[in-house]
Structure 1
Amino acid sequence: MDLNSHTPNYNAGDVVYVIYRNPHTQSVANVQEAAVVKNPENPEELALFLYETYYPLTDDLAVYSSEAEAEQVYNQSFGEL
């Protein structure tokens, strides 16, 4: 199954925004800028580079093209920033 088949067309070098939950405190989330890069484990796929970690770019991630869009979804889900 191609995990990137339903993901909007991103290219390596794009800047995107994600809602990121703190792994140590699950009640804390924020909008974070991330970079779209080639997956170092599989250069045929894209990944997100966030906090010095690579995350496969899959449909399981909520990725937004603009910070305003990510903040709007954040506010709907978690309340005001």
Structure 2
Amino acid sequence: MMNTIDPREIKAGDEVFVIYNNPHTPTVSNIRAAEIVQHPKDPNAVALFLNETFHVIEDDDALFSSEQDAEQAFEQLYTDTTLE
């Protein structure tokens, strides 16, 4: 089971880890640290700041409190143990 953070419980200044899918190479994913920051256009919201870009946080986004938690989720998601 993945140990994710509830997006409604984060606040500006929190560091989180995400599994980032490369938009230019969809088959490439890796774990990245990101910061929760004040949303640049909505003073009542926060945003994910990753790769010098603000991202809206959706309820189904997987945010992790540690790199280890993200690595475990990555293994669960991207390692198919049924192939032999």
Aligned residues: 74
In structure 2, what is the equivalent of residue 24 of structure 1?
A: 24
- Runs of 5+ consecutive residues of structure 2 not aligned to the other structure: 1-5, 80-84
- Report the TM-score when normalising by structure 1: 0.84
How far apart, CA to CA, are the structure 2 residues paired with 1:71 and 1:62?
Answer: 12
Q: How does 1:2-13 map to 2 (within 5 A)?
A: 7-13=7-13
Greater RCO, CA 8 A, separation 6+: 2
Q: Give the alignment's TM-score, normalised by structure 2.
A: 0.81
Q: Assess, with a 3 A threshold, how the Cα gap between structure 1 residues 28 and 50 changes in structure 2: closer, same or farther.
A: same
The 5 Å alignment of 1:2-81 reads 7-79=7-79
Instruction: Name the CA distance, whole Å, in 2 between partners of 1:19 and 1:8.
Output: 19
Q: Please, which runs of 5 or more residues in structure 1 have no aligned partner?
A: 1-5
CA distance in 2, matches of 1:20, 1:27: 11
Between structures 1 and 2, the one with greater strand share: 1
RMSD: 1.2
**SS class of match (1:59):** coil
